[in-house]
A = this chain, B = another copy of it.
Amino acid sequence: MSDVNLKTLARELNLSVSTVSRALNDSFEVSRSTKKKVSNLARQLNYQPNPFARSLRNKSSKTIAVILPEITSNFFSLIINGIENVARANGYHVLIYITHESDAKEVEYCSLLQNGRVDGVLMSMSGHSGDSVHIKSLMARQIPVVFFDRICEEIATTKITTNDYESAYQGTVHLIRKGVGRIAYLGISSGHSISKNRFQGFVDAMKNNHVQIDPEQIVYCTGHEHTDRQKILQLLSVPGRPNGIFAAVEQPALLCYEIVRELDLSIPHDLKLISFSNLRTASLLNPSLTTITQPAFEIGREATRILFKALACHNAQLDDFTIRLKSEIIERESTASI
């Protein structure tokens, strides 16, 4: 660590520490000429204020935390990109915490942030438990929290997510319009509002279009590849197997696609797929894998903007409302089959 601090500068210039501080902070009450002298020397010695002394004094860290379940999906890394983008533009630093879908880690990280390490938190819940005292306790300490994507409905704050119900509905209709009669649902088992909304969108679309839902063809994946593979294999191996699949999450969709290849089904002729996905390469994967793509970068940016608005107003209470950005249904044109 450098030993260039205010005292160094003050000594060198025969000024007091406070004057130097004021000069660097561009205070009204310091002469133009001293300001010049100070800032010149500061630049020359490459002075950087000690962030901890400053945070300690100002009770503000110019740092925010992102807590999210994973990072190796394109969706979340795009979100981080958006967050970093806005944060840097505001001179803020970004701490990253990955829960790997563990509730316990989420609690641990929240507790780590209880004492001012960050001015605010952006969070996508791993929370399968539905418990949220750790978050409430964070907010009780005046640390604003904004949710993105996997929001927590029971907490009164601002939430950014997508129009999951509508896009699931539209996506299902999309399959139905293609004349697909036996549509399976591929989701993951979790109590997230997101899963619920997507499932409801699927169900309503089916009902409103008088397509029957076969309970056997509603598959909840676990995230364990082996188990999920069995489930999907079974789904696709029986005689009355589906000829369309609506996947509410990306990972099972990819697994499904792999299995389809192994079973040597002909896509898209025997099976049409639509999936929530932010894979940039989805278009390369298969012409029939129509995607419901969420505006990830924009989600990250918007959540961060909202957080900063609160921070700017001396931690003004965040209003309790949900912004739903629109997902886009992207259909591949090609009809090549594999």
Q: Report the stretch among A28-36, A171-179, A280-288 that lies at the interface.
A: A280-288
Contact of A130 with B by CB under 8 A: no
CB-based nearest B residue for A137: B46
Contact of A236 with B by CB under 8 A: no
Sample (5) of A-B pairs whose CB atoms are under 8 Å apart: A2-B116, A46-B137, A51-B52, A52-B53, A74-B74
Contact of A115 with B by CB under 8 A: yes
| A117 and B51 in contact, given A59-B1, A281-B254, A283-B258 (Cβ under 8 angstroms) | yes
In the complex, what residues of B have CB within 8 A of residue A254's CB? 280-281, 284
CB-based nearest B residue for A55: B52
Contact of A142 with B by CB under 8 A: yes
Contact of A238 with B by CB under 8 A: no
CB-based nearest B residue for A279: B281
Contact of A72 with B by CB under 8 A: yes
A80 to B84, alpha carbons, bound, how many Å?
14
Q: Which residues of A contact B (CB under 8 A)?
A: 1-2, 46, 48-53, 55-56, 59, 61, 63, 71-72, 74, 77-78, 80-81, 84, 88, 93-98, 111-112, 114-117, 137, 141-143, 254, 257-258, 261, 279-281, 283-286, 334, 336, 338
CB distance from A18 to the nearest CB of B (A): 18
| A77 and B71 in contact, given A56-B56, A59-B1, A284-B258 (Cβ under 8 angstroms) | yes
Contact A116 B81 (CB under 8 A): no
Contact B46 A111 (CB under 8 A): yes
CB-based nearest B residue for A105: B88
